[in-house]
Every structure is written in structure tokens, then in C-alpha cells.
Amino acid sequence: MKDMETRLAKLARSGDRAAFAGLVDLYKDKMFHLGYRMLGSPSEAEDIVQETFLRVYTNLDRYDENQKFSTWIYRIATNLCIDRLRKRKASYSLDAEMPDGEGADWYSLLPSEQPTPEEETMLTETQEHIRKAINTLPEKYKSVVILRYLQDMSLQEIGDVLDMPVTTVKTRVHRGREFLRKKLQSEYGGKIF
């Protein structure tokens, strides 16, 4: 995959539109999900996708082929999301409706073995509590928690994306998790964790 991405980036840099379209196809959904998780709005996530690919296109000459393309593009998208969060300084919701308008949220797509209605209600309530707690995380913990637990990135990948040492990432993930645990225990009496 890395070789293919690097090859596509080289071709796109030399003006090959099909190669750039290939990069877009590989990453558009991933960038949308990242933007959606961080900003909580489908329209803002779409804006992030567009801004990310605009930055990728205009800065392809800066891409270091010794670096994973995925790290580079995630860094661009994450920074754009963080910039938006800083500008609005309001909390965001991870439970916004999906773009197809069915009224479900992304968490409702979790695989299951046909839970009972009671189990579904408990799961939905738990997810809602967790989403609300994530919304209260300080900004420096919010991005690492989302990248780690919602984007399933390794600590090294998060360090590469956010351009910080792995030890810092590990500390922030731990502190963010502790913040969430304490918040959930105090508000919900330890019923979640």
C-alpha cells in the first residue's frame, strides 16, 4: 500500500490527474470519518475533506517520499479539524445524524448479535454518555483520544500525525482516558466503567 501511495503521489506531483484521483479515492472516506468524529457535523466533515485534498494537491512538492503518505494526509486533516475547533471553541457532538438522513448515528453501526431492545437502549445510553464526556475533554486530549479510540491509530501513528513524541501521545491518551473515567464515574455513578 505504501509503495502504491508513494507512486501515486509522485505521479500526481508531475501533473497526473488520474493518480491524484486515485489518492482521493483511497482517502476520501477516511478523511470524512476523521472530520466527522472530530467536528460532529457531516457538512463540516465534507469541508475538511475538500480542504485536505486542496492542501495535498497544492503541497505535493513538500511531501517527503520517505514518510508514509497516510501519516502526511492525516496530519493535514487533523490540523484542519483542530483549527476549526479552536475557531469555534464550542463543544462538538459525535452523535450527529448520518448524511443519508436515517436518523441513526455512526455508533449505531457497531456490529452485534441482534441485541434485545433493552440491550440496545443500554448501549445507546452508554454511547451517549461517552460522547458527552468526550465533548468535555480538553482540546489536547480530545484529538489523541479520537485518533486512538475512534480512528484506531497506534501511538506511533498519532505521534507522526500530530508531530509529537510517542511518550507525549501516550501520556495524553492516558490522561484523556483518566479524565473520561473520572467524568463518567462522577456523573453516572460508575455505571459505565
**81 and 152 together in one domain:** no
CATH number for position 85: 1.10.1740.10
Global pTM value: 0.60
pLDDT in the model for residue 92: 42
35 and 61 belong to one structural domain: yes
Together in a domain, 91 and 134: no
The one-digit pLDDT tens for each residue of the chain (193 residues) are 667 888 888 888 888 899 999 999 999 999 999 888 888 889 999 999 999 999 999 998 888 888 888 889 999 999 998 888 888 754 444 545 555 544 445 445 444 455 556 666 666 676 777 777 777 888 888 888 888 887 788 899 889 888 999 999 999 999 988 888 888 788 766 555 4
Count of domains observed in the chain: 2
95 and 9 in one domain? Answer: yes
One domain, residues 98 and 127: no
Q: Are residues 132 and 44 in the same domain?
A: no
Q: What is the pLDDT of residue 193?
A: 46
Asked, for residue 111, whether it belongs to a domain, the answer is: no
| 168 and 88 assigned to the same domain | no
What is the reported pLDDT for 130? 75
Q: What is the pLDDT of residue 161?
A: 87
* Residue where a domain terminates, one of 44, 77, 104: 104
* pLDDT given for residue 3 in this prediction: 78
Residue 132 structural domain: 116-188
Distance CA 9, CA 15 (A): 10
132 plus 96 within the same structural domain: no
In a domain, 193, yes or no: no
Q: What cell does 176 get?
A: 484523556
Same domain, 91 and 126: no
Last residue of one domain, picked from the residues 71, 104, 137:
104
Same domain membership, residue 87 and residue 12: yes
Residue 110 in domain: no
Q: Domain ends where: 68, 83, 104?
A: 104
User: Considering the domain boundaries, does residue 93 fall inside one?
Assistant: yes
Q: Residue 7: its pLDDT value, please?
A: 87
